[in-house]
């Protein structure tokens, strides 16, 4: 009997479940990403994170308040690049806003996996092929899929706040300098720095560091630095028009 017990195979641990992994990305990213790269899976993570974003944005964009907020945001964005919106263009934008409750969720379902796949390829090319790290596309893709929980939190934060304030809101650095003119260069630059996106950049850097056995600091500095450069260029372009 004892010999049979010794001979019995030990069940292989499947690692933390889906919900535990998504919560782990928030509260314990390093340990969680170690589990993710050991057993890379993407379907469940995408289903929950994209589902939260699609349902939340779709529900809010059915309301007249958020349709007006979205239209105002789109008009301001287009005009900030020096484009003049005529009556026909405005009418087409209004028609598009009326369909936002359906088109926005569809674009999220289609776009997020594609963008994540492109990013996974770039990350694998840089930290895998060029820098000699060992990892697979599937592992990088799984890291990005799980990191989407941060974007889901961003949507859950921004949509109710935008509805309450009747303006497109978010956790950007611009909220700390309300005294600045909205169209000024500094206001536009700080407004483009979203704290959730900074958090996501650092979070993904932890996962990439775990996978390729690199220091997180350098990877995070690269991600955040590129984001800041893009925000700076956008602020320059918009301020010049």
Instruction: Provide the sign of the torsion angle of the four alpha carbons 112, 212, 209, 29, taken in this order.
Output: positive
Backbone angles phi, psi at 226, to 5 degrees: -65, -40
User: pLDDT, tens digit, for every residue of 135-146?
Assistant: 999 999 999 999
User: pLDDT, tens digit, for every residue of 187-227?
Assistant: 888 888 999 999 999 999 999 999 999 999 999 999 999 99
Q: Give the pTM.
A: 0.87
Instruction: Provide the sign of the torsion angle of the four alpha carbons 230, 106, 152, 203, taken in this order.
Output: negative
Residue 172's beta-bridge partner residues?
A: 194
User: pLDDT, tens digit, for every residue of 73-102?
Assistant: 888 888 877 788 888 888 888 888 989 999
- Domain residues of the chain, as ranges? 17-239
């Amino acid at each position: 009997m004892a010999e049979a017990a010794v001979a019995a195979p030990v069940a292989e641990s499947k690692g933390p479940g889906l919900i535990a992994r998504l919560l782990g990305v928030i509260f314990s990213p390093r340990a969680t990403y170690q589990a993710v790269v050991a057993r890379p899976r993407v379907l469940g993570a995408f289903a929950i994170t994209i589902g939260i974003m699609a349902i939340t944005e779709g529900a809010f964009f059915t309301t007249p308040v958020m349709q007006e907020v979205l239209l105002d945001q789109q008009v301001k964005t287009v005009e900030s690049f020096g484009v003049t919106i005529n009556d026909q263009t405005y009418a087409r934008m209004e028609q598009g806003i009326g369909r936002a409750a359906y088109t926005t969720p569809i674009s999220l379902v289609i776009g997020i996996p594609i963008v994540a796949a492109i990013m996974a390829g770039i990350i694998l090319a840089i930290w895998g092929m060029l820098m000699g790290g060992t990892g697979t596309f599937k592992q990088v893709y799984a890291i990005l899929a799980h990191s989407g929980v941060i974007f889901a939190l961003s949507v859950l934060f921004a949509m109710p706040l935008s509805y309450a304030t009747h303006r497109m809101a978010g956790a950007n650095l611009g909220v700390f300098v309300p005294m600045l003119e909205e169209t000024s260069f500094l206001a536009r630059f700080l407004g483009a720095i979203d704290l959730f996106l900074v958090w996501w950049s650092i979070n993904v850097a932890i996962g990439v560091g775990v996978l390729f056995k690199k220091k997180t600091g350098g990877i995070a500095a690269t991600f955040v630095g590129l984001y800041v450069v893009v925000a700076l260029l956008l602020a320059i372009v918009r301020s010049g028009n």
